[in-house]
Chains A and B, each alone.
Chain A
């Protein structure tokens, strides 16, 4: 198990390290002069000021030196300052990251709570009308753009019915964005759970258990559920990353003050230090979640625990 986990941790560290390299190179991949572009929108910037910024960002040095400088600051927890406002990037991100994480976790909760029972039911009644209906709903759910679902929910529940606030950052404001993100992912969990459960139900040991006359409910609970949920747990890691990505769009619909909304604003304003910080934070979160899920997987699956 430790071998399994240490490989995963090593891969995660590698991913984060490569991210730091890419993030340093990112600014050089911008066509044209990035400093000119960053300041294109603000008036009255003199050439001297532009040179000053170039120096402060270290853009006048060779790339390896820039990378070393970037890493040195990063180790001290310094991600630079934002172009607009000059606040420390880390503070700006840390202020908003909890909002995004809360949104992603709430959405994950909704997705699993709705998706897994539906998938289980469909597998249990495989081939029946229930199964077919549920799977049609699921494929329709997967095909529905979540930004559209978000707009529709906003329209009916906030504008038409007035039940929930249109935007803001309170607990009530969490309902619609979490539902938007959660429902579109519930469909994915339903499909995955169904196919995973059907796989397990066809296993010899399940057939044996049924053949020797154990009640179906007991076989499902004891033998099918646990084994069938393993791929679902693995999927949760991937889905969490997917939700972090989906949060970018959903946060913008509901004006939820998370890192996704911040990143999109930064792209419009060409605020590269924020974009760099966002990419780095995003990959650190995704890697940490993936490792946690792998650890959970190892605990749940004795075959990995003993290896």
Chain B
């Protein structure tokens, strides 16, 4: 995680969806992400061939009518592999961010709500893990669990926890110091009510922005692990892994290198733009 988003985003203001669609980055991002979800959902229908079927048409066929994106070193159809790859990529992004988000938010909210020694232990621990950097955490996890796509997803998810915990903590801290929060403590609200009714909905907008941007970070990190051979294993049509294989045929079949790279870049760009759009349409200061 390298881009620290501005985190002071208030509750979703009215007309936020309209603003999102009207902001150029939000609109483009939304279109890319929706297209991706469409590809992932209907990969079976859209893909002209079986992504793992070898040698039906010949190896290293350049892009043509029959094979719009060419074929790879085993004669597998690249378009079909890319389409099925979108499914893997979205699952990777969703599951990894899901792990970081749920655990990170739990840690952040408990620390902000409980204060005292609980806060000290949780947040100092987060600080230490944060200075470990995500790459090192992810790499250590893969080193222990062994290379596989599933382990790479877990590794990336766990590696993201400190960042989400920090962000959620500072958002929740702002909320707990507001008069309405103190008022409801004074009115005798139970901790569960305070957390679920007041804290959670109010940190949600911030966390949605962070999570959207986080999907792109997670996808990049997992693709990077697969690229190194530490994530997806053959014959999975994972984009990072496909890219790694293309290196040996850089002269013979350059499209094997360009196509998965473009696919990753567009996906990551889509989530980055959507996240940017969400932030500006949720933030009253940027809105001006």
Contacts and interface: CB of A to CB of B under 8 A. Distances in A.
- Are A and B associated in one complex? yes
Interface of A: 11-12, 14-15, 18-19, 22, 26, 29-31, 139-140, 142-148, 151-152, 154-155, 159, 185, 188, 191-192, 195, 238-239, 241-242, 244-246, 248-249, 252-253, 263-264, 266-268, 272, 275, 279, 282-283, 286-287, 290
B145 to A, nearest CB: 7
Interface stretch (B11-19, B101-109, B195-203, B221-229): B221-229
Q: Which of A145, A192, A239 has the most CB of B within 10 A?
A: A145
Central interface residue in B2, B272, B276, by most chain A CB within 10 Å: B2
A151 B265 contact: no
B121 interface: no
Contacts, number: 131
B144 A26 contact: yes
Nearest to B269: A143
Contacts of B128: 11, 14-15, 18
Contacts of B250: 151, 154-155, 159
B2 to A, nearest CB: 5
A188 B269 CA distance: 14
A75 to B, nearest CB: 21
Interface in B90-149: 124, 127-128, 131-136, 139-140, 142-147
Contacts of B216: 143
18 contacts: A11-B127, A11-B128, A12-B131, A14-B128, A19-B132, A22-B140, A143-B216, A145-B220, A145-B223, A145-B243, A145-B261, A151-B243, A151-B257, A185-B2, A191-B3, A242-B133, A286-B136, A287-B131
A152 B144 contact: no
Interface of B: 2-3, 6, 25, 124, 127-128, 131-136, 139-140, 142-147, 216, 220, 223-224, 227-230, 240, 243, 246-247, 250-251, 254, 257-258, 260-261, 264-266, 268-269, 272-273, 276
A148 B133 CA distance: 22
Given A31-B145, A151-B246, A267-B139, A241 B133 contact: yes
Contacts of A248: 135, 139, 228
Nearest to B270: A143
B227 A249 contact: yes
B143 A26 contact: yes
Given A139-B269, A145-B223, A282-B136, A188 B246 contact: no
A242 B250 CA distance: 28
Nearest to A144: B265
Contacts of B260: 148
B264 A148 contact: yes
Contact of A143 (B6, B133, B268): B268
A188 B220 CA distance: 15
B261 A152 contact: yes
B144 A30 contact: yes
Given A14-B128, A242-B2, A264 B272 contact: no
Contacts of A145: 220, 223-224, 227, 240, 243, 261, 264-265, 268
Given A143-B265, A253-B247, A279-B139, 12 more contacts: A26-B140, A145-B227, A145-B261, A151-B243, A152-B257, A154-B250, A185-B2, A191-B3, A264-B229, A267-B139, A272-B143, A282-B133
